[in-house]
C-alpha cells in the first residue's frame, strides 16, 4: 500500500468513476467501429465487420465470458479458480444429459448444477481444508475430465445418436429477434458504405437471431456488476478477497462468503459449458471446451478483475475466433494492420511520459507487425488461433502495472488466525 493516494483525491476519483464510465465505454466502442470500418474500406476484407462475423463473435464470446465471470466471482472472494475448465467440462455433460432427455432448459439447469458441484468441491478443499488453490484446481480439472468421460460412456453409449464421446442431440434453444428491423439493416449493410454499413451490421448482430442464452449471459454480467459492487452482500464478498481478517473483525463469516462465491463461480462456468453443448453444437461432445475455461481466466485478468473489462476481453477473444472461422487468412491479415496501428499508437501515447523500455518494446512490435502486414497476403490459420493468447500475454507484459487483483487473492485464510 505504498502508493495509496491521499484521501481527498481518492474520494474524488471514486465519486466520479461510475458517472464517467459509461460515456467512456461508448466512446471506445464507437471509435472501435469507426476504426474497423476504415480498415475494412482500406483492406477490402469485408468480413471484419460483417454482421455474420459479429454475430459469431458474440456466440463465441459467451462461453469465454461466462467462464471469466465465474473466475471473477471466485477471485473477488480471494479464491483462485484454475478449476474453471473442469467445471465447464462438467457443465457440458450436465447439459447433454439433462438436455437430451428433458429439453434445452433442463439442460441449462443441469449444466449449472454440475458446474456448481465442481465449485462446491473446490470450495471444500480450498476453504474448509486450506489446500493451495492452484493445486486443488488442477486436481479438479483432472477429476472432472475423467468423471465426464466415464459418465458419458455410461449414459450415452448405445443411445440413439449418442456414443461414448457424444450425447444424443439436444433440442434447439429459442432465438429472439427485434421484429421488423433485420431486413432494412441487412440492406444497409449490403451497401458497403463507410461507417453506416458497419453500424448497421453491428446493430443487426445485436438484434437479429440472438439466442436466449446469450441474452441471459449478458444479463448475468450486469447482475454480477450490480450484486458485487452495489449491494451489501457484494461488498462483504469482495472484502473477503481484499482483506479477510478485516472482514472477519467486522463480523463477516468469511468461510460462508467464500463458499457462496466459489459455488457461484462453478455454476457460471457450468452455464458456459451448457452454452457450448446446447447452443454451439446441440450435443455434449468430448473435448468440447477446448481450454475455454483457461481463456476465460485470461479474459478476466485482461479485464482487470472487473465485469466490464472482462466483457471486453471475452469479446476480443470471441472476435478473433470468429474471424478465423470466416475467411480467416484474409480477415486476420487485415487485423494485423489494426494491431500495428494500435500498438504504435500505444507506444506514442507512452512516449508522452518519456522514453522507456515499454515504449521501445511496443514500438518495435508495432513495426514488426506492420512489416508482416505489408509483406504477406494471408496469415496462416494456426497463427490466428494464437491471437488471443498472445494478446493476453502482451497485455500482461505491457500493462501489468495497471492491473490490480484483489489483495488477498490466492492466499489461504484460516479463521481466527489473522496475523
Partner 1 sequence: MTTMRSRINVRDAALSMAAPILAVAFATAVGSLILFVAGDPVGQTWQVMFDTAKQPRSIALIVNQGSVYYLSAIAVAVGFRMNLFNIGVDGQYRLAAFVAALTAAYIPAPGPVRIAAAILAAMVTGALWAGIAGLLRVTRGVSEVISTIMLNAIATSLVAYMLREVSVPVEGSNNIGTKPIPESARIPGIPLIPDSTQDVYGLVVVAVVAGIAYSVLLNRTRFGFDLRATGHSESAAQASGVNVKRMILTAMLISGAFAGLVGLPELLGQAYTYSLTFPAGLGFIGIAIALLGRNHPLGIAVGAALFSFLDVAANPLQIIADVSSEIVTIMQGIIVLAVVIAYEVIRRYRVTQEQRRVARQLEAPTEAQGVPA
Q: For residues 125 and 283, which CB has a smaller minimum distance to partner 1 in the complex?
A: 125
Closest CA to 65 of 213, 209, 217: 217
Q: For residues 32 and 329, which CB has a smaller minimum distance to partner 1 in the complex?
A: 329
Q: For residues 274 and 301, which CB has a smaller minimum distance to partner 1 in the complex?
A: 301
Q: For residues 180 and 416, which CB has a smaller minimum distance to partner 1 in the complex?
A: 416
Closest CA to 351 of 340, 362, 339, 359: 359
Q: For residues 21 and 399, which CB has a smaller minimum distance to partner 1 in the complex?
A: 399
Q: For residues 138 and 218, which CB has a smaller minimum distance to partner 1 in the complex?
A: 138
> Interface with partner 1 by CB under 8 A: which residues?
80, 82, 121, 125, 129-132, 134-136, 138-147, 149-151, 153-154, 164, 291, 294-295, 297-298, 301, 380, 382-383, 385-386, 389-390, 392-393, 396-397, 400
Rg (CA), the chain: 22
Q: For residues 8 and 382, which CB has a smaller minimum distance to partner 1 in the complex?
A: 382
| Residue 175 beta carbon to partner 1: minimum distance, rounded to whole angstroms | 31
CA angle 321, 301, 371 (to 5 degrees): 50
| Residue 401 beta carbon to partner 1: minimum distance, rounded to whole angstroms | 8
Q: For residues 371 and 417, which CB has a smaller minimum distance to partner 1 in the complex?
A: 417
| Residue 76 beta carbon to partner 1: minimum distance, rounded to whole angstroms | 17
| Residue 141 beta carbon to partner 1: minimum distance, rounded to whole angstroms | 7
Q: For residues 161 and 380, which CB has a smaller minimum distance to partner 1 in the complex?
A: 380
| Residue 273 beta carbon to partner 1: minimum distance, rounded to whole angstroms | 17
| Residue 32 beta carbon to partner 1: minimum distance, rounded to whole angstroms | 24
- Strand-pairing partners, residue 175, are 211
| Residue 400 beta carbon to partner 1: minimum distance, rounded to whole angstroms | 5
| Residue 48 beta carbon to partner 1: minimum distance, rounded to whole angstroms | 21
| Residue 147 beta carbon to partner 1: minimum distance, rounded to whole angstroms | 5
* Cα distance between residue 325 and residue 328, in whole Å: 6
Q: For residues 104 and 328, which CB has a smaller minimum distance to partner 1 in the complex?
A: 328
* Cα distance between residue 167 and residue 251, in whole Å: 47
- Strand-pairing partners, residue 210, are 176
Residues 6 or more apart in contact with residue 391 via CB below 8 angstroms: 302, 316, 317, 320
CB atoms within 10 A of CB 60: 23
| Residue 51 beta carbon to partner 1: minimum distance, rounded to whole angstroms | 28
Amino acid at each position: 500500500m505504498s502508493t495509496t493516494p491521499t484521501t481527498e483525491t481518492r474520494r474524488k476519483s471514486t465519486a466520479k468513476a461510475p458517472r464517467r464510465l459509461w460515456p467512456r465505454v461508448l466512446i471506445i466502442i464507437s471509435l472501435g467501429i469507426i476504426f474497423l470500418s476504415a480498415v475494412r474500406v482500406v483492406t477490402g476484407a469485408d468480413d471484419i465487420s460483417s454482421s455474420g462475423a459479429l454475430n459469431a463473435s458474440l456466440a463465441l464470446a459467451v462461453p469465454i465470458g461466462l467462464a471469466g465471470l465465474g473466475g471473477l466471482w471466485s477471485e473477488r472472494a480471494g479464491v483462485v479458480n484454475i478449476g474453471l475448465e473442469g467445471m465447464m467440462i462438467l457443465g457440458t455433460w450436465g447439459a447433454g444429459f439433462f438436455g437430451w432427455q428433458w429439453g434445452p432448459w433442463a439442460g441449462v439447469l443441469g449444466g449449472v448444477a454440475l458446474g456448481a458441484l465442481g465449485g462446491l468441491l473446490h470450495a471444500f478443499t480450498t476453504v474448509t481444508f486450506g489446500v493451495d488453490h492452484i493445486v486443488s484446481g488442477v486436481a479438479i480439472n483432472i477429476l472432472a475430465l475423467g468423471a465426464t468421460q466415464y459418465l458419458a460412456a455410461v449414459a450415452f453409449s448405445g443411445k440413439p445418436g449418442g456414443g461414448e464421446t457424444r450425447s444424443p442431440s439436444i433440442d434447439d434453444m429459442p432465438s429472439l429477434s427485434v421484429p421488423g428491423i433485420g431486413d432494412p439493416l441487412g440492406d444497409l449493410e449490403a451497401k458497403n458504405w463507410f461507417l453506416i454499413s458497419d453500424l448497421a451490421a453491428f446493430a443487426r448482430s445485436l438484434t437479429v437471431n440472438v439466442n436466449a442464452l446469450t441474452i441471459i449471459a449478458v444479463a448475468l454480467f450486469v447482475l454480477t456488476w450490480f450484486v458485487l459492487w452495489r449491494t451489501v452482500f457484494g461488498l462483504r464478498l469482495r472484502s473477503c478477497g481484499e482483506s479477510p481478517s478485516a472482514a472477519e473483525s467486522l463480523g463477516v463469516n468469511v468461510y460462508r462468503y467464500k463458499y457462496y462465491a466459489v459455488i457461484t463461480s462453478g455454476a457460471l462456468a457450468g452455464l458456459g459449458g451448457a452454452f457450448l453443448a446446447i447452443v454451439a453444437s446441440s450435443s455434449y461432445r468430448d473435448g468440447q471446451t477446448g481450454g475455454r475455461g483457461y481463456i476465460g481466466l485470461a479474459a478476466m485478468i485482461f479485464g482487470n478483475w472487473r465485469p466490464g473489462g472482462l466483457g471486453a476481453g471475452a469479446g476480443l477473444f470471441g472476435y478473433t475466433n470468429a474471424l478465423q472461422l470466416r475467411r480467416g487468412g484474409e480477415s486476420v491479415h487485415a487485423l494485423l494492420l489494426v494491431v500495428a496501428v494500435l500498438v504504435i499508437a500505444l507506444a506514442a501515447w507512452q512516449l508522452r511520459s518519456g522514453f522507456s523500455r515499454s515504449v521501445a518494446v511496443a514500438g518495435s512490435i508495432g513495426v514488426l507487425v506492420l512489416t508482416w502486414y505489408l509483406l504477406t497476403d494471408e496469415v496462416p490459420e494456426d497463427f490466428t488461433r494464437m491471437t488471443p493468447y498472445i494478446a493476453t500475454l502482451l497485455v500482461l507484459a505491457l500493462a501489468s502495472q495497471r492491473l490490480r487483483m484483489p489483495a488477498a487473492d490466492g492466499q489461504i485464510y484460516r479463521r481466527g488466525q489473522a496475523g
